[in-house]
Amino acid sequence: MSPAASAVPFAAIGLDLGGSSIKYGVVDQAGKLVESTFSHATTPAGAHPQAVAEVMAQIISELQQLTGSDLFGVPVGVTVPGIVIDGVVHSAANIDDAWIGLDAVALLRGQLNREVSVLNDADAAGMAEVFAGAGSFAGAPIPGSTLVLTLGTGIGSAFFRDGNLFPNVEFGHLEIDGVDAESRAAARVIREENLSWDQYIERLQRYLSHVEFLCSPDLIVIGGAVSLDHEKFMPQLKLRARIVPAQYNNAAGVLGAAHRAMNH
């Protein structure tokens, strides 16, 4: 690292777009989240791209004030809850359809005045877990097949073989028993349908058994806010794979997005 680079305390900004909130934070040169910068803003109703881009610009100015730095030249990584190929969004299950076909990198680069990388939210969370969290050991990805699932508004999935990401895997949209899997097993249904843990475990078991049958992971990492309650459901799941809660929980998307921006 050059002396000039090491003098810059902030390496990248991570913005994690969800249906209800945009989580954000800054990482330092070591790739660690600067905890005091981790926060969230409300996603504008409907999550239209232009409205989201404007909120993201406000977030950057808040981060500038908070850090006392103009964050000049600090790149930003942005997650989107949809398929992202070369910066273009190709699906939008829980956000405005205007994202579909949109060059999100071009939109956000113009709005945020800095280099932008865009990736799927679960891929970002998965990278944080596999490189430095529950899917890693001694600072390296655990060898074998690792599936990271985020259970939230939808079901996000990220699939890795020996630390290599197979991007844009959409296991939340498997059709199981005639319905889109995430409409039955995402964490939001617990509240929406007022499910008991036993009822939710039954749905999760059905879902995870099917996914395990399809891709035979060695390790399954469960993320999303529900993973904080892992003791209530994880011990009862019967799977061949080892199953563990995520380490970063709701900061994983921000971390993974920032890491992507650092390494872009």
Residues that bind ligand BGC (CB under 6 A): 81-83, 91, 93-94, 120-122, 150, 154, 156, 170, 172-173, 182
CB of 227 to ligand BGC, least distance (A): 14
Between 18 and 245, CB nearer to ligand BGC = 18
CB of 250 to ligand BGC, least distance (A): 12
Between 185 and 258, CB nearer to ligand BGC = 185
CB of 94 to ligand BGC, least distance (A): 5
Q: How many residues does the chain have?
A: 264
CB of 89 to ligand BGC, least distance (A): 9
Between 71 and 130, CB nearer to ligand BGC = 130
Between 112 and 170, CB nearer to ligand BGC = 170
Between 74 and 245, CB nearer to ligand BGC = 245
CB of 214 to ligand BGC, least distance (A): 17
Query: Which tokens go with 11?
Result: 């390496």
Between 111 and 150, CB nearer to ligand BGC = 150
CB of 183 to ligand BGC, least distance (A): 10
Q: What is the 3-state secondary structure (H, E, C) of the chain?
A: CCHHHHHCCEEEEEEEECCCEEEEEEEECCCCECHHHCEEEECCHHHCHHHHHHHHHHHHHHHHHHHCCCCCCCCEEEEECCCEECCEECCCCCCCHHHCCCEHHHHHHHHHCCCEEEEEHHHHHHHHHHHHCCCEECCEECCCEEEEEEECCCEEEEEEECCEEECCCCHHHCEECCEECHHHHCCHHHHHCCCCHHHHHHHHHHHHHHHHHHHCCCEEEEECHHHHHHHHHHHHCCCCCEEEECCCHHHHHHHHHHHHHHCC
* 103 φ/ψ angles, rounded to the nearest 5 degrees: -80, 95
Between 8 and 215, CB nearer to ligand BGC = 215
CB of 182 to ligand BGC, least distance (A): 6
Instruction: For residue 246, give the nearest of 263, 230, 262, 264 by alpha carbon.
Output: 230
